Amino acid sequence: MTDAIELLALESLLSAEERAFADSVRRLVDDQVRPHVAEWYESGRAPVRELARELGKLGLLGAHLTGYGCAGVSAVAYGLSCLELEAGDSGVRSLVSVQGSLAMFAIWKFGSEEQKQHWLPRMAAGEAIGCFGLTEPDHGSDPAGMTTRAVRDGDDWLLTGTKMWITNAPVAELAVIWARVEQGITGFVVPLAEPGVTVNEIGNKMSLRASATGELVFDNVRLPASAQLPGARGLKAPLSCLTEARYGIVWGALGAARDCLETAISYTRNREQFGRPLAGFQLTQAKLADMALELQKGYLLALHLGRLADAGQLQPEQVSVGKLNNVREALAIARTCRTLLGANGISGEYPIMRHANNLESVLTYEGTSEVHQLVIGQKLTGLSAFA
């Protein structure tokens, strides 16, 4: 199969270590995801706990974090792993993103040493799965309006509220929950086996069907003072976690796009119409060329952001540029590839419609396209258009 990334020999921009890490992830996806993912998607069930342990063995959970059993790889290497994972399925990359860049990162960045020692090694190994509760039924793009609250009761906290569309929730052991307190917004590490916690799995999804998604309901859940993330103060704390996860999406969307494009190239080379391969027609080649061009540009953008991150210079609005562009273009590539396969494009025998459906969710989660446009617009003008 043609490697669409190699049109401009972009892998020559990577170090030997980065290429080796990406190759190891690709082998894992080829061995443990591709043979089964169509069935997972069809059934709406994936072996998330088993997958997490295999991902942990390769150091992919919290890969870019240091200490506590985490691999401590570069931002570029972590991004490449997201690309390879999402080439398998967005749901698999979402499992890794939520575990490492949201739940683990929140504890690593804002948690106490006790919290880090207790949770991070087990999470890095895939032995404990975490989730991240910011979105609520009535507050998605406007997290500042959250209604989940925690109030003091002696030395403890009482947590009440609902979080919605929470990846990993149905299989998670713990949740990082953001709540309003008297002083503002803060985070808590909440074991989901606590009395008063209800986890409802969200079914009937048309997208991300190989990912576990749920609703978390907290009814006066009693938490000790030690459950609070001591370093998390204000909305900037959860938003910084989202920036971490959005960076992975910048790379991950390219994986879905690459898989669609490579599938379309292979299909059109072998599918004959009017006496010759579809790939031999000018209109087909024009579509393939345009899609390959956008894939190369998206890869260069992701790599640039990764180098900035490794230099400690990456800014949130730059991540917004990456997510806005790469997810939008990946979805366009998936849709165009579907047309090249005709009716076969909607068949589960091929991955394209599954990727396209998944990317519809990726387009709007962790910041809709409109939110990222406004982040960029505020940076360009110095004026906020959010309110």
- The rounded distance, in Å, linking the Cα atoms of 53 and 77 is 20
- Which residues of the chain are modeled with pLDDT < 50? none
Instruction: List the catalytic residue out of 84, 215, 294, 366.
Output: 366
Helix (H, G, I), strand (E, B) or coil at 291: helix
Q: Is 366 a catalytic residue?
A: yes
Residue 2 has a pLDDT of: 61
**Mean model confidence pLDDT for the chain:** 95
Residue 295 has a pLDDT of: 97
Tell me if 116 sits within 8 A of 150, measured CB to CB: no
Identify how many contiguous H helices and E strands the chain contains and give both numbers. Answer: 12, 9
Summarised one tens digit per residue, pLDDT across range 286-314 is 999 999 999 999 999 999 999 999 999 99
> How many C-beta atoms lie closer than 10 Å to residue 343's C-beta?
7
In the chain, what percentage of residues exceed pLDDT 90?
A: 95
User: What is the secondary structure of 214-265 as a DSSP string?
Assistant: EEEEEEEEEE-GGGB-TT--STHHHHHHHHHHHHHHHHHHHHHHHHHHHHHH
